[in-house]
Amino acid sequence: MSTTKISGAEIILKALADQGVEVVFGYPGGAVLPIYDAIFNQNQIRHILVRQEGGAVHAAEGYARSTGKVGVVLVTSGPGATNAVTGLTDALMDSIPIVCLTGQVPTHLIGNDAFQECDTTGITRPCTKHNYLVKDVKDLSKVMHEAFHVARSGRPGPVVIDLPKDVCMALENYTPKEEIELKKYQPRLKPDADRIEEAVELIAGAKKPVFYCGGGVINSGPEASRLLTEFVRETGYPCTLTLMGLGAYPASDKQFLGMLGMHGTYEANMTMHGCDVMVCVGARFDDRITGRLDAFAPGAKKIHIDIDPSSINKNVKVDIPIVGDVAHVLKDLMKVWKDKKCKPDAKALDKWWAQIADWRAIDSLKFDQSGDIIKPQYVLQRLGELIKGRDSYITTEVGQHQMWAAQYLGFDEPNRWMTSGGLGTMGYGLPAAMGVQIAHPQSLVVDVSGEASFLMNMQELSTISQYRLPVKCLILNNFYMGMVRQWQELLHGSRYSESYMESLPDFVKLADTFGMTGLRTTKPGEVDDVLKEMIETDGPVIADIQVDPAENCFPMIPSGAAHNEMLLGPDDKAEKPVSEEGMVLV
């Protein structure tokens, strides 16, 4: 412990530096002025000024997800904190490590309905992994370090530290990271050895196996992705990934079936439906994945690997639960597999792959780019081709474009794909791209967007401009909230209630006002040129690509349907009307 007392605000900055924080995304205000003063007086930590607090959290999410580090946010009390709530909930749903510092009115005013006061810990309790209200500067060092520990350990998540102004101004000694005892939160990493044995036995005996893997693999670190790839290749079994897991297994590999779930490939969903052994690695049997629960993988024995015991048996009862960190578990699985000299049942596996080849032959992602209207799928397919082999990162907003991006852009590495999966937050992609670009200044960062989502956090264009971030905004402009329109067409008799985007801005002019390059095309023949120009331009770009407004995202498992009841395309829908109970589901 140092002997000189410093202010609470300086303790915060010291603790951030001690935790290896390089960047903070924030927005100042009355209650956090002491912290901003401390930021002014140091050079170690860089502050990125966003234009709305919601943008700060998404930027920190993009930063965290693309680096594996904890993203840090600094906002003021009251509206600063409430604006951050969407981002915090997003980070909780997608298990992204965030530490969010919120200002608070001085302790003697708490509870008095003071100016810009809100019950931040009360509001954020259900949307954070944990939160703190620091009432005494003596606790500040400990809380700071504990918050980082909680945010990054176990299943990662957002942590809020609420900081009354007087606490930030009070003087106290700083306690460095090494001197803090963290015994409170110690999640289990090593799996149970007996379970590993049982799992290996089940995997080795499988006749129709599948690996179903998710964001937990990516959260476990790049080593987990490497181990997963090694193990899947060792077994020769098929592998499918969730939306959050894309990149955990190389998309270019022949054992990869594509994404599964509501808009997953036919082969991925049919393989899930028909498998006899399912190995779920770091995924959580979400409703977008399972479809109708009572018809989910009816003949399968299920192994579930997850660091969070509450994920196990939540939606789907599994046969072998393994609680532990994905990398640890895969390492142990592989060791037992090799020690026992396990070999997959080659004959059964050949038959299984032949069946999968039949499903693949359906070519569920096919589309027809023959007319003179641009198909959105074509744009993404071309983007995928043009950035192949490049050091690139993709973020998305939420909706049809997000699903198409997931379907057509292949990811061979983890941490390259940033999307709002659990919460489905429109407006996520632009600020997230900002955060990614801050972390990787030399890399190509593309926000694949729809025009409606883009408008949700468009104020961040000003941030992009201020920091000269060369973010590429690729807008698939179909003049509709595409996914809303699609559901209205399929489920509500094509009554397009409020889903048309009136009065859109001229995106080229918009780019111009922020000193960005604006591009536009309406012709399929120009798509490649526009994409190339977007990629090659040094600075930020908005590319307004006007696509077919009537295009729907297929394949699709309608809500309330099972994996083997997919709609493959527009001609499919008439024969299989969505059930009443399906209509009720989201």
Partner 1 sequence: MTIDQQINFHTISVLVDNEPGVLARVIGLFSGRGYNIESLTVAEVDIEKAISRITIVTSGTEMIIEQIKAQLGRLVPIHKVSDLTLDGPHVERELALVKVVSTGDKRVESLRIADIFRARVVDSTNESFVFEIVGDTGKLNAFIDLMRPLGLADISRTGVAAIARGTEGL
Position 302: which residue type?
K
Binding partner 1 (rule: CB under 8 A), the pick from 142, 314, 440, 573 is 314
Annotated catalytic residue: which of 262, 426, 456, 483? 483
Query: Does residue 317 touch partner 1 according to CB under 8 A?
Result: yes
Catalytic annotation on 93? no
At its nearest, how many Å lie between partner 1 and the CB of residue 117?
Answer: 17
CB atoms within 10 A of CB 460: 25
Question: Binding segment for partner 1 among 5-13, 68-76, 277-285, 312-320 (CB under 8 A)?
Answer: 312-320
**305 in Cβ contact with 326 (< 8 Å):** yes
Q: Which residues contact 44 (CB under 8 A, 6 or more apart)?
A: 13, 17
Longest dimension (CA), the chain: 77
User: Which residue among the candidates 116, 355, 459, 466 is catalytic per the annotation?
Assistant: 116
The secondary element (H helix, E strand) that includes residue 100 is strand 98-104
483 is catalytic: yes
Known active-site residue 554: no
The dihedral over CA atoms of 268, 273, 276, 277, expressed in degrees to the nearest 10, equals 50
φ/ψ (deg, to 5) at 197: -60, -50
Find the part of the chain contacting partner 1 (CB under 8 A) among 118-126, 203-211, 502-510, 552-560.
Answer: 118-126
**Using an 8 Å Cβ cutoff, are 452 and 425 in contact?**
no
107 binds partner 1 (CB under 8 A): no
Catalytic residue among 14, 129, 165, 302: 165
15, 73, 96, 133: residue in contact with partner 1 (rule CB under 8 A): 133
126 interacts with partner 1 by CB under 8 A:
yes
Contact between 129 and partner 1 per CB under 8 A: yes
Task: Kindly name the residue from 10, 53, 61, 267 that is annotated as catalytic.
Answer: 53
User: Residue 166, interface with partner 1 (CB under 8 A)?
Assistant: no
Q: In the complex with partner 1, which residue's Cβ is closer, 121 or 355?
A: 121
Task: Provide the minimum distance between the beta carbon of 393 and partner 1 in the complex, in angstroms, as a whole number.
Answer: 31
Residue 99, beta-bridge partner list: 72, 159
CB of 150 to partner 1, least distance (A): 6
Is 121 a binder of partner 1 (CB under 8 A)?
Answer: yes
Select from 130-138, 443-451, 498-506, 534-542 the region that touches partner 1 (CB under 8 A). 130-138
Instruction: Decide: is 136 part of the binding site for partner 1 (CB under 8 A).
Output: no
Query: Hey, what are 473's tokens?
Result: 């905004």
Applying the rule CB under 8 A, the residues between 177 and 206 that interact with partner 1 are 184-185
Q: Does 130 bind partner 1 (CB under 8 A)?
A: yes
Q: Phi/psi of residue 462, each to 5°?
A: -65, -40
Contact 470, 446 (CB under 8 A): no
21 binds partner 1 (CB under 8 A): no
| Residue 115 annotated among the catalytic residues of the structure | yes
The site that binds partner 1 (CB under 8 A) totals a number of residues, namely: 18
A 10 A CB-CB count for 134 gives 23
Q: Is residue 56 exposed (0-12), middle (13-18) or buried (19+ Cβ within 10 Å)?
A: buried
**Beta carbon nearer to partner 1, 89 or 265:** 89
Nearest 10 degrees: Cα torsion 92, 127, 287, 186: 50
Nearer to partner 1, 138 or 226 (CB): 138
3-state secondary structure of 63: helix
Stretch that binds partner 1, among 16-24, 65-73, 276-284, 303-311 (CB under 8 A): 303-311
Stretch that binds partner 1, among 1-9, 128-136, 335-343, 450-458 (CB under 8 A): 128-136
The beta strands (E) that lie in 165-287 are given as 171-172, 209-213, 239-241, 256-259, 277-281
* Marked catalytic residue, from 42, 115, 230, 581: 115
Strands 171-172 and 6-7: antiparallel
Strand-strand pairing, 158-164 and 171-172: unpaired
Question: Contact region for partner 1 (CB under 8 A) — 67-75, 246-254, 311-319, 444-452?
Answer: 311-319
Structure tokens at 261: 């779930």
Q: Which of 111, 122, 441, 515 binds partner 1 (CB under 8 A)?
A: 122
Looking at the Cβ atoms of 325 and 447, the one nearer to partner 1 is 325
Termini Cα distance of the chain: 54
| Contact between 108 and partner 1 per CB under 8 A | no
Query: What are the start-end ranges of the E strands in 214-361?
Result: 239-241, 256-259, 277-281, 301-306, 320-323
Least Å from the CB of residue 106 to partner 1? 17
584 binds partner 1 (CB under 8 A): no
Name the E strands within 32-70: 46-49
Let me know if 53 is a catalytic residue: yes
312 sits near partner 1 (criterion: CB under 8 A):
yes
The neighbour count for residue 574, using CB atoms within 10 Å, is 8
Catalytic residue set: 53, 115-116, 165, 483
Q: Kindly list the residues in this chain that would bind partner 1 in the complex (CB under 8 A).
A: 121-122, 125-126, 129-131, 133, 150, 184-185, 308-310, 312-314, 317
